[in-house]
Amino acid sequence: QVQLVESGGGLVQAGGSLRLSCAASGRTVSTNAMGWFRQAAKKEREFVAAIRGSSDITYYVDSVRGRFTISRDNAKNTVYLQMNSLKPEDTAVYYCGTHLSGSYYYSRSYAYWGQGTQVTVSS
């Protein structure tokens, strides 16, 4: 059974930084691609970033490219999302998921979601 646990969210001022962690058990993060999504209040869950399981190739939504960095520590079986230069529009609950098949950009391609971690950016 795969379990994902996100942590690292919080309240930060605009321009600040946070690092989110996604600790996995039951499946190594190097086996499948891993992705970060976010869901703001009353909005659909949207893709943020993904990292391939077999390589370090990464993918980002345009709105975070250059500010966010996804990475993976295989020894800790953990995926990270470093978020810099945060903006109020980054406020959302952030989820990590294990990619199973299909496009990295769609949530339906993922399974085994964590419970999410709240990120709030004040202006």
Q: Which residues pair with 25 in a beta bridge?
A: 3
Beta-carbon-side half-sphere exposure of residue 51 (alpha carbons within 13 Å): 19
pLDDT, average across residues 88-117? 95
Please determine, for residue 2, whether its predicted confidence score (pLDDT) is greater than 90.
no
DSSP states along 12-73 = EETT--EEEEEEEESS-TTTS-EEEEEE-TTS--EEEEEE-SSS--EEE-TTTBTTEEEEEE
pLDDT tens figures, 5-59: 999 999 999 999 999 999 998 877 778 899 999 999 999 999 999 999 878 899 9
